[in-house]
Structure formats: structure tokens, C-alpha cells
Amino acid sequence: MTKSIDSTGRAGRNFLLDLLKQKEMGVFLALVAIVAFLVCKTDSFASKDNLFAVSRQIAYVAIVALGIFFVIVTSGIDLSVGSLVCLSGVICALVLQGGHHPLLAVLAGLLTGAVAGAINGLLVSYVGVTSFIVTLGMLSVAKGAVLVLTHGDSVRGSTEQFSTFLDFGKRTFLDGRLSMPVVVLLVLAVICYIVLRYTVFGRRLFAVGGNEQATELSGINVRGIKFFSFVIASVASSIVGILYIFQYNSAQSSAGEGMEMDAIAAAVIGGTSLLGGQGSVVGILIGAIMMGVIRNGLVLMKVDAYWQKSIIGAIIVLAAVIDILRSKRK
């Protein structure tokens, strides 16, 4: 939405017109066009198996993107999310391998994210170091920690607890159409939507991003808000790290690598402004779907391997350019 998420509270206006004017409509229509194109041009895009696979790939990125959204809205950035996906997964798997209860393992994984996020938040909000530097540092620290713990190998499961854990996670829904990550995404998306639109915390997030000084002078604890946004981003990453184990049957030392780029791109495509104060859950979902569909489509269309990377890079740049043009027009 052009302003914060609450712009269409007007009564009696043309609903359809308002819908079309929504900021996300542009990308949504683009997405519909791409999907339609792929459905026509390939017989495999719309197949049950492909949709299952693609929706799961999208879910991973989307959950990280939702988490990072909280940080971006407050005008920050978090580059450590990818490496935290990896680290959290490694720790969760190690706990399972140690023969401990799966719930404990999940807790350990989430705690990894929480602690890392707290450190990020502390350094950015209370010490005042810029988020780019702090999270870049955390990225290295997390990567290094993974190396120390795994020596570059993966953490494979052999304990009973590991199997129980996997059994739970490999469950599918809707007759094998929806994977666990997709279900988790849907739940998280709804929660995020409600928090961002209807709660004080959500309102304050957007306020901080819209004008940090004015918000602070209005009596709001800006530091606390920013601190929590980093914790949320990192915990979201942990969730994905844990979800990956269900698919990989292990914690891989290259899992989540480079994910921050996809997450940020998804956010920007979906209408989030990197300057803060703007964006929506719907936009994030559209952006993540767009990224996943394009990646999938490139392979399905048998695009030459050498071109694929360039195309994806070009799309990310395009998204950033559109973002700037959008903010300039206002």
C-alpha cells in the first residue's frame, strides 16, 4: 500500500478501483502474467509435483523475507539471515544427534537465532553501529561457527530422535500438495499480517521507519523496537534452518547460503522500501513467489545455464530501480 498498511479505511469508495490502485497490483499482475506464460509454454509447471517443489522453495525464502521485513521497515538491513539459517539448522541437528528430545533440538535452534538477533539488535540499537556492518560481521561469525562445528561436513542423523523429528516434518497436507514449510509460512504470514496491521508494535515499526526522530520524541522506545526487529528476523531464519532438515535429512553446511539476497529482493519486488516505513505482507509473498517462479521457470524453459544467473541478477537490479522510481514519484 502506498502509505502504511492502513490506507483504505475509506467508506463508500469503489472497492475495485481501490484494489487496482494498491501498490502491489503492479507486481501481482506481472506475476499472473509470468505464471500464465509458464503454464502455457511448459507442461510441467502446473503439475502437482512441480508445484509442491516450487511452493516449498518459495516458502523458505518467504519466511526469511517476512522476518527481514521487520528490520527493513525500521530502515535497517540484516545480512546475517542466510548464515543464521545454516547455523540454526546445524545446532538443531547436533542436539538431535546428541540423543535429545526433538523439542529441545527445535528450541536450541530457535534460541540460536534469538541470541544472534539479540546481539545484532544490541549493537545496532544500543551501541549505535550501523546495521549493515553489524549484520555483515554476524554473517562471518555464524559462518565461522558452522565451520568449527562441522568442518564443512554435514550433520547427518542416525539417532532415534532424529528419525522422530524427520517423521514429523515430512508430513504433507492436502493430499500431498502442501509441504510443512508452506504450512508454516501460511501460519506465519497470517500472524505477521495481524501484528503489523492491528497491534501497537506493528504501528510503531512503521512509525520508526517513517520518521525515527519524530517517533522517539513522541515518547516511543525506538531502541526497543529496533532491537526486537532484529530478534524477529533471526528467529525467522532459525525456523527455516530447522525446516531445511526435514527436506535434507541433515543439516547442510551450505544451506541458506546467499539467502539474504533472495529475501531482500523478494521484499523489494513486493513493495518494501529499503529506506523504511513502507511495505506489506502481501507484497512479500508476491515477491517471494515471483522469485521462486522465475527460478523454476528458467530451468523449465531450458534457458542456458550461463544466462540464468545474469537474468536473475538483472531482475534484482530491476526491482531496486523500480523501488527508487516509486519513492521518487511520491
Partner 1 sequence: MMKKAWGSVWVSLLLVGILGLMGCGQKTETKKEGADSKQSAKQEAKADAGKGKKTFVMVPKVVMPYYEPCFEGFKDAAAKYGAEVEYLPPNEMKLPLQVKVIEDLIARKVDGIAISALDDIGLKQVINDAMAAGIKVVTFDAPAPSSNALSYIGTINEAAGAAAAEEMIKTMGGEGELAILQGGLVSSNLNQRFEGFKKTIETKAPNIKIVAREDTEGKIDTTVAKVEALLQVHPNLKAFFGVSATDAPGAAIVIEEQKKVGKILIGGFDDTPDTLSAIRKGTVSFALAQQTYKMGWLSVVKLCEAIEGKTIEKEINTGLLVVTKENVDSYMSEMKANVEKSDAAK
Partner 2 sequence: MSMPLLEMREISKGFPGVQALKNVNFSLSKGEIVCLLGENGAGKSTLMKVLTGVYPEYEGTVSLNGETIRFRNTRDAFEKGVSIVFQEFNLCPNLSAMENLFLGNENRSLPGFISYGATRKKAVEAFRKLRMEIDPDALVKDLGVAQQQMIEIAKALSHDTKILVMDEPTAVLTELEAKNLFDLMRELKAQGMAIVFISHKLNEVLAITDRVVCLRDGENSGEACTREIGENDLVSMMVGREIDRFYSKRAGQASSEVVLDVRNLTGRPMTRNVSFKLHKGEIVGLAGLIGAGRTELARLLIGAEKVTDGEIWLHGEKVSITHPKHAVARKIAYVSEDRKKYGLVLPMTVRENTTLAVHSRVSNWAGFISGSKERTLTKDFIERLRIKVPHAEEVVNNLSGGNQQKVVLAKWLAIAPDVLILDEPTRGIDVGAKAEVHRIIADLADSGVAILVISSELPEILHVSDRVLVMHEGRMTADIPRSEANEETIMRAAVA
Query: Binding residues for partner 1, per CB under 8 A?
Result: 42, 44-45, 47, 49-50, 53-54, 57, 60, 123, 126-129, 137, 141, 143-144, 147-148, 151-154, 156, 244, 247-250, 252, 254-259, 295-296, 299-300, 302, 305-306, 308-309
- Considering only 17, 200, 305, 325, the residue that binds partner 2 (CB under 8 A) is 200
Query: Which residue in 284, 317, 215 sits closest to 63, CA to CA?
Result: 284
- Considering only 47, 199, 254, 310, the residue that binds partner 2 (CB under 8 A) is 199
Q: Is 326 in the site for partner 2 (CB under 8 A)?
A: no
User: Which helix (H) or strand (E) segment is 223 a member of?
Assistant: helix 222-248
Shortest distance in whole angstroms from residue 201 CB to partner 2: 6
Shortest distance in whole angstroms from residue 133 CB to partner 2: 26
Secondary structure (3-state) at 72: helix
CA distance 90 to 148: 11
Q: Is 328 in the site for partner 2 (CB under 8 A)?
A: no
User: Of 217 and 314, which CB lies nearer to partner 2 in the complex structure?
Assistant: 217
Q: Which does 226 bind (CB under 5 to 8 A by kind): partner 1, partner 2, none?
A: none
**Site stretch for partner 2 (CB under 8 A), options 73-81, 201-209, 249-257, 295-303:** 201-209
> What φ, ψ does residue 156 adopt, rounded to 5°?
-95, 155
**Site stretch for partner 2 (CB under 8 A), options 114-122, 185-193, 197-205, 285-293:** 197-205
Cβ(102)–Cβ(200) under 8 Å? no
Query: Which residue in 295, 279, 303, 297 sits closest to 27, CA to CA?
Result: 279
Q: Which residue has the cell 509447471?
A: 45
Cβ(109)–Cβ(94) under 8 Å? no
**Mask: binding to partner 2, 142-181, rule CB under 8 A, as x and -?**
----------------------------------------
Q: Indicate the Cα dihedral angle 126, 130, 135, 141, nearest 10°.
A: -80
- Total number of residues shown for the chain: 330
Shortest distance in whole angstroms from residue 284 CB to partner 2: 18
Cα atoms in the Cβ-side hemisphere of radius 13 Å centred on 50: 16
Q: Is 214 in the site for partner 2 (CB under 8 A)?
A: yes
Give strand pairing partners of 156. Answer: 250
Q: List contacts with partner 2 (CB under 8 A).
A: 2-4, 6-10, 198-201, 203-204, 206-207, 210-211, 213-221, 277-278, 330
